């Protein structure tokens, strides 16, 4: 059981360029002193058990794997190498985050709360996108545990065997087709000029990337996203990835509640990462809190960059992998990392498609295909 503080004001804390661009997430965690009687309620699409308790506020800092944590006031709080902050005395924490030449200080009040709300997650409510995503993962891993998607020449039996992942290129560094003529990749780990895709029947489809273009800046800040223009259309047997409409209104904004996603790696494995929150620049992921899902999480390492992360949404008889992120940073724990929040980049990506076509002197007429989420209630 994971008990986390409920706070209506809890949001993702992001750095800005003026703060040296160390991105991180704070996840509140309470050390209960006196627990009250629990009552059942609903909070942000989650069924929770809520108590009015007294507790010492503590928190975890989710940050890139090369971040070094240091408490500047151990009399108030300590922090370990994983970013776990422990209350020592009432006051304001001063936790310094250092990463290569970058650093910043996290300040947060950890004074004793004599009477505060504390929620324990139980389940997702019916009809929510979070429950839909959770069910699409759980029903599959309950009957199949193999994770290898294909061996380079043939698709294997895995927990995602029924999902069309032909949009993902075969080789590392990887890219993902988003139209029959355009691919998306990580800027810092770009795919080679010659790439290939694997059809469901095992046919290998080769293509050449004619031109690349940054999809940047995005909301006043750079991204790790590059688009590539292929030398010719992909065949109909390769299905470009859909991009969901902005997922943030449909999922909890509180970092208490995480939802599982399909994440790929350099070894063609179908892993699971839990989305903490999709902010206005990055999507942040952590180790799943569900024990079974956590067994499908792996720590991101060199070579995993640029691999896609999908939400799984069933439309009619088909479960669609909708692209929300490509891996950028690892946070050093299974399933944990971040990447561009592609669900908020539709306009930018379409304008980049137009620009890259124009630069090559052609007009493919393609735009991305957006996945409509309006059948789900807002969180």
pLDDT band at residue 58 using 50, 70 and 90 as cut-offs: very high
Between CA 132 and CA 182, with CA 169 as vertex, the angle to 5 degrees is 90
243-244 and 370-371: which strand pairing? parallel
Residue 63 has pLDDT above 90, yes or no: no
Cβ atoms within 10 A of the Cβ of 95, count? Answer: 24
- Average pLDDT of the chain is 89
CA distance 83 to 78: 9
Give pTM, 2 decimals.
0.85
- Across 54-69, average pLDDT: 89
Question: What's the helix, strand, coil split of the chain in %, to 5?
Answer: 10, 40, 45
Q: What tokens appear for 230 in the block? A: 């292929």
Nearest Cα to 376, choosing from 135, 161, 110? 135
CA distance 183 to 226: 8
Report the DSSP beta bridge partners of residue 61.
Answer: 26
> What pLDDT is stored for residue 14 in this prediction?
35
CA distance 29 to 258: 14
Between CA 356 and CA 366, with CA 361 as vertex, the angle to 5 degrees is 50
Q: What tokens appear for 324 in the block? A: 């929300």
> What pLDDT is stored for residue 26 in this prediction?
85
- What does the pLDDT look like over 284-318, one tens digit per residue? 999 999 999 999 999 999 899 999 999 999 999 99
Lowest mean pLDDT among 39-43, 110-114, 329-333: 329-333
Residue 218 has pLDDT above 70, yes or no: no
Q: What tokens appear for 139 in the block? A: 């029903």
Q: Which domains, ranges and CATH numbers included, belong to the chain? A: 3-124 (no CATH), 129-371 (2.40.10.10)
Nearest Cα to 222, choosing from 12, 11, 26, 23? 23
> What pLDDT is stored for residue 254 in this prediction?
76
Q: Tokens 């067994």 sit at which residue?
A: 295
- Across 29-41, average pLDDT: 92
Q: Taking the CA of residue 49 as centre, how many other CA atoms within 13 Å lie in the half-sphere pointing to its CB?
A: 9
Report the DSSP beta bridge partners of residue 52.
Answer: 117
> What pLDDT is stored for residue 64 in this prediction?
82
CA distance 29 to 118: 9
């Amino acid at each position: 059981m994971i008990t986390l503080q409920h706070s209506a004001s809890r949001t993702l804390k992001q750095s800005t360029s003026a703060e040296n661009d160390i991105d991180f997430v704070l996840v509140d965690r309470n050390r209960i002193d006196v627990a009250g009687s629990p009552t059942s309620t609903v909070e942000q699409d989650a069924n929770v058990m809520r108590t009015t308790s007294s507790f010492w506020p503590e928190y975890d800092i989710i940050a890139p794997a090369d971040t070094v944590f240091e408490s500047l006031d151990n009399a108030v709080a300590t922090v370990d190498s994983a970013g776990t902050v422990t209350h020592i005395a009432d006051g304001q924490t001063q936790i310094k985050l250092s990463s290569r030449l970058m650093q910043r200080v996290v300040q947060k009040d950890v004074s004793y709360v004599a009477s505060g709300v504390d929620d324990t997650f139980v389940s997702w409510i019916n009809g929510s996108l979070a429950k839909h995503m959770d069910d699409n993962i759980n029903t599959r891993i309950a009957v199949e545990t193999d994770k290898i998607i294909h061996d380079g020449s043939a698709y294997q039996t895995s927990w995602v065997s029924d999902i069309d992942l032909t949009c993902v290129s075969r080789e590392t560094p990887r890219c993902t087709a988003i139209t029959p003529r355009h691919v998306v990749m990580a800027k810092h780990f770009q795919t080679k000029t010659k790439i290939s895709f694997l059809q469901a029947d095992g046919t290998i489809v080769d293509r050449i990337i004619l031109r690349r273009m940054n999809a940047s800046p995005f909301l006043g800040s750079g991204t790790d996203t590059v688009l590539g223009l292929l030398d010719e259309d992909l065949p109909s047997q390769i299905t470009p990835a859909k991009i969901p409409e902005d997922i943030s209104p449909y999922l909890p904004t509180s970092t208490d509640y995480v939802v599982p996603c399909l994440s790929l790696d350099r070894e063609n494995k179908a892993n699971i990462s839990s989305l903490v929150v999709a902010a206005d620049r990055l999507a942040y992921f952590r180790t799943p809190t569900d024990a079974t899902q956590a067994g499908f999480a792996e720590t991101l390492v060199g070579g995993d960059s640029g691999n896609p992360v999908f939400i799984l949404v069933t439309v009619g008889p088909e479960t669609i992998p909708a692209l929300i992120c490509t891996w950028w940073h690892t946070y050093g724990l299974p399933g944990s990392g971040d990447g561009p929040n592609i669900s908020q980049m539709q306009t930018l990506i379409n304008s980049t498609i137009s620009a890259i076509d124009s630069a090559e002197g052609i007009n493919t007429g393609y735009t991305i295909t957006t996945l409509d989420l309006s059948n789900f209630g807002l969180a």
